[in-house]
Structure 1
């Protein structure tokens, strides 16, 4: 295992910009070692970055990610962190299922509107392609 990673190595590994990594640093989510203007990321920083990106993919906000990460270091510790993640995942799933229902309803309305238009066009002898 390597001791340090450069910002360039992490941007390539995770396919993100240096700006993204600096943003997470500014937000206090990762804290690389600084040697002059150079940032050196420990294995733990790399792991945190992976977790941050996973949280973002799951739809968590930066504030939610910060809160979950903070739980690991302080009481209730990992058990509390895991409970919080499970609850947030359930909430996110519920939100996405509602969006899916909303999209399905909208698609059905669009199908109905299109069908009504095509029926009326046929009644009027209008070609759908003109």
Structure 2
């Protein structure tokens, strides 16, 4: 028995349950060439590599990476698993995401300050109205 025959396999339903996503999402990732399960008739058979990639896709999405960015990282890894290019690309993407999040954080803080000002004015006007009654 080869190592490949000994490898764990998963159905689309098992992966969908494990990652709390729909089978349709998994099929979409396959259409985007992010996953490449083997097929037995109409059934998809996912190996551990597919499971790890699905985990990375979910983590990447949570961190704000696009599927195109995730695919690019997979392609870099596939062409050379120990590539400094892949690591440099990941660092650049991380810096870009941080910059976007910092800007969003600044925008949120500005909006919170504006809401504080509006709330203060409303409370002051309400207090003035209630004193005049």
Asked if Structure 1 and Structure 2 have the same fold, meaning a TM-score greater than 0.5 normalized by the shorter chain, the answer is yes
Cα distance between partner residues in 2 of 1:17 and 1:36 = 21
Going from structure 1 to structure 2, the CA distance change for 1:76 and 1:17 (only over 3 Å counts) comes to closer
Q: How many residues align?
A: 126
Cα distance between partner residues in 1 of 2:41 and 2:69 = 32
Could you tell me which residue of structure 1 aligns to residue 22 of structure 2? 17
Could you tell me which residue of structure 2 aligns to residue 36 of structure 1? 41
| Residues 64-120 of structure 1, C-alpha deviations (whole Å, 9 max, x = no match) | 111111111226963211111111111101111111111111011111011111112
Residue in structure 2 matching 1:107, options 73, 96, 112: 112
Could you tell me which residue of structure 2 aligns to residue 116 of structure 1? 121
Cα distance between partner residues in 2 of 1:76 and 1:21 = 24
Deviation at 1:2, TM superposition (A): 4.0
TM-score by length of 2: 0.87
Residue in structure 1 matching 2:70, options 65, 73, 81: 65
Question: Gaps spanning 5+ residues in structure 1: where?
Answer: none
The alignment's C-alpha RMSD in Å is 1.7
Going from structure 1 to structure 2, the CA distance change for 1:79 and 1:22 (only over 3 Å counts) comes to same
SS at match of 2:34: coil
Question: Gaps spanning 5+ residues in structure 2: where?
Answer: 1-5
SS at match of 1:34: strand
